[in-house]
Structure 1
Amino acid sequence: MFKKLLRRFGLVPPAHPLFADNWYYFRRLDQNRPLSDYEFVVFDTELTGLNRQRDEIVSIGAVKIRNLQILVGETFHVYIKPSRALPKDSTLIHRITPQQIEQAPQLATVLPDFISFCGQALLVGHYVGLDVAFLNRACRRHYGAVVSNPCLDTMRLAQTYTEMQWQQYHDRFRMDATYSLAGLSQEYNLPDFTLHDAYEDALQTAYLFVFLIKKMRAKGIVTLKDIFSAGQAWRNLF
């Protein structure tokens, strides 16, 4: 029981080999290398709703970034059949219909492929905590483990970048700032993709991520440790 509790908090390696290698790898992760040295997987999920105890993942989309370049040939996109009927309200948002997922695989069969796709990359998402919460709930249920991959949130990165831009002014906070994925993409003149589609949202987020990293790199944020420190410093302002 005690060892199970330690595993739940990530203090001992997961029993499942799909997760154990990453647990060891990320415990020794060197955060002092240039950001271009790391591989990232930018991902997004579509859900039946936002209740973390009841709702489920119905689609996962992801794209890889290597050398700060989006690899459009290395992508992941799948529809998933939930255990319950698809709520009409969720269909209105992500436009996934019951007919589309009738023959789709269940999440238990999708997870190994997605975890393997992520490999030893860092995970990136817009408000990534929500996606990771649903992903880890599923992983814990089916494998008794959670992903060890560190995560970067493009919403937090955008907030940090905004603070960097305004730090020389007395009024340091933009009350009109928007941090939605669509709003930021429009503000920075990034390519436009279809909203609430897991794969296209992942692509949209990937473009935003590369844009922000390159802008922040010009301001002296050059390593992974710099990124984590900058984000922490921004949160400490409040």
Structure 2
Amino acid sequence: MEQAMFDRLLDSGPLGRMLGRAPWHPALRESREYFQGFDQDIPLDECEFTVLDTELTGMDHRRDEIVSIGAVRIRGMAIQPGANWYAVVRPSCLPKACTLIHRITPSEVEAAPELSDVLPEFADYLGQSLIVGHHVGMDAAFLNRACKRILGGPMANPCLDTMRLAQVYEEERWVSYYDRYNLRVSYNLTDLAAQYGLPSFPAHNALSDAMQAAYLFLFLVRKLRSGYVHTLKDLYDLGRSWRWYF
């Protein structure tokens, strides 16, 4: 049986209900079908990117929870003002350390919706865009765990990690200008923004961190290989930076 047919049975039939599986959210299903035959030779200017970040109660994706999600849209290799997405969600428990780091208070999360109420809207926002994030594997792990539980399946959108791109850029600089290479370079998002002279945004806020990563992404794409990165395949070949997270 073809995978697509099997998924449809799980989506709408008694088999899915018997297995306790949530119906696939339409946006996730459409993205999965779209990316199965995705053309990596598409020019970057024709791509749509969602730069995202999550704030968490902790780092264990099996136990900890999402507290907020922030996202910034890039089209035509430019940030789209007014197309941002942000939500605070209510976890089952908000540790004091979390409030100190993220500055999200107990009263904020008490008034916030649950993740199950927010995630469908975020899936619609994400659509068939490509995901960008700094150390994006962490964000993808938490989001995909939630998507499987609430929306019936994981995101199929390919993810690009700005931390990996920064590593590739620093390696490239070392090869070309060994006397300028910084052996003590930090790959922290805030430190990279300062090092490259990018606009600075408050740290540990999901939307601000997403905006910071968006500026970093655009900077790195324009700098890598002296600006000769024009397609998604160029980015993929550049240190094999693409990652899929399920």
Q: TM-score, normalised by structure 2?
A: 0.86
1:152 matched to 2:156? The reply is no
CA deviations on 1:45-79 (whole Å, 9 max, x unpaired) are 00011111110001001110000110121010110
1:12 shift after superposition? 6.4
Q: Secondary structure at the match of 2:85?
A: strand
Which of 220, 223, 231 pairs up with 2:228?
Answer: 220
1:130 matched to 2:100? The reply is no
Provide the residue aligned with 1:177 in structure 2: 185
Q: Secondary structure at the match of 1:46?
A: strand
> RMSD of aligned C-alpha atoms?
2.3
Provide the residue aligned with 1:102 in structure 2: 110
1:144 shift after superposition? 2.5
Q: Contact 2:41–2:233 at 8 Å: present in 1 too?
A: yes
- Residues 172 and 193 of structure 1: is their aligned pair in 2 closer, same or farther, counting only changes over 3 Å? closer
- Residues 219 and 24 of structure 1: is their aligned pair in 2 closer, same or farther, counting only changes over 3 Å? same
- Residues 196 and 170 of structure 1: is their aligned pair in 2 closer, same or farther, counting only changes over 3 Å? closer
Structure 1 stretch displaced more, 165-174 or 65-74: 165-174
Unpaired stretches in structure 1, ≥5 consecutive residues: 234-238
Once the two structures are superposed, the pairs formed by residues 153-168 of structure 1 within 5 Å of their partners are 153-168=161-176
Q: Contact 2:120–2:151 at 8 Å: present in 1 too?
A: no
CA deviations on 1:117-163 (whole Å, 9 max, x unpaired) are 11110000000000000000001111230000000010001011111
1:220 shift after superposition? 2.2
Which of 75, 89, 97 pairs up with 1:80?
Answer: 89
1:139 matched to 2:157? The reply is no
CA deviations on 1:210-238 (whole Å, 9 max, x unpaired) are 111111263422210111111228xxxxx
Q: Contact 2:28–2:127 at 8 Å: present in 1 too?
A: no
Once the two structures are superposed, the pairs formed by residues 1-238 of structure 1 within 5 Å of their partners are 15=11, 16=24, 17-82=26-91, 84-168=92-176, 174-216=182-224, 218-232=226-240
CA deviations on 1:87-144 (whole Å, 9 max, x unpaired) are 0111111111111111100001101110111111000000000000000000111123
Q: Contact 1:163–1:172 at 8 Å: present in 2 too?
A: no
Q: Contact 1:22–1:119 at 8 Å: present in 2 too?
A: yes
1:80 shift after superposition? 0.1
Q: Which amino acid aligns with 2:76?
A: N
1:175 shift after superposition? 2.3
Unpaired stretches in structure 2, ≥5 consecutive residues: 12-23, 242-246
Structure 1 stretch displaced more, 199-208 or 215-224: 215-224
Q: Size of the alignment, in residue pairs?
A: 226
Q: Which amino acid aligns with 2:57?
A: T
